[in-house]
Amino acid sequence: MGVCGSGKSTVAQILSQKLGIDFIEGDTFHSEENVKKMANDEPLTEDDRIPWLKSIRSAIDEYQEKGDGAIVTCSALSRNSRRILGVENAGVQLVYLHARESILAQRMTLRENHFMPASLLSSQLESLEEPDENEALPVNVEQAIKQVIDEIIVNLELF
């Protein structure tokens, strides 16, 4: 989890390869309406996010029913969002990727072919309800990607 520009997809892809489990890109669950809204520089509301979150939750539930693991990306900005995703379930572990706003903004300007414009970063930061240490493993993504991955793998089941 984390705001746009925190490296969710990059980290998730590497983790899924290292751990040998599937990677599920949460952005693919957005409705066409939500994608258009964000592409037009309109932040999503909590109500806009609910069907998206429920779709992701269904995918998580399917993996859990099969006893399989997966790495799933999702901004999960609010406590309610995380509740919908099922983070209270012992089988769901949350990693909170975070960095200074200036770093996130810089990363967003370098992204290509993404529907989310850098201008929406501030609205995501305003919506963000940071998880506490019992809810997620916080990982500062201002360090090298290898260090981020190593920190997550070492601490994944320990928090």
| Distances 4 to 105, 117, 159 between C-alpha atoms, Å | 9, 9, 24
Residue 106 lies in a domain: yes
Per-residue pLDDT, 109: 74
Per-residue pLDDT, 116: 56
Q: Do 74 and 26 form a contact (C-beta atoms < 8 A)? A: yes
Residue 115 lies in a domain: yes
Q: Which domain holds residue 35?
A: 8-154
Rounded Cα gap, residues 111 and 130, in angstroms: 24
- Kindly report, residue by residue over 15-52, the tens digit of the pLDDT: 999 999 999 999 899 999 998 998 888 888 889 999 99
Residue 131 lies in a domain: yes
Per-residue pLDDT, 85: 94
Per-residue pLDDT, 48: 93
Give the residues of the chain that fall short of pLDDT 50: 159
Residue 116 lies in a domain: yes
- The first and second tokens of residue 126, run together, are 């305003």
pTM score, whole prediction: 0.88
Q: What is the CATH number of the domain that holds 101?
A: 3.40.50.300
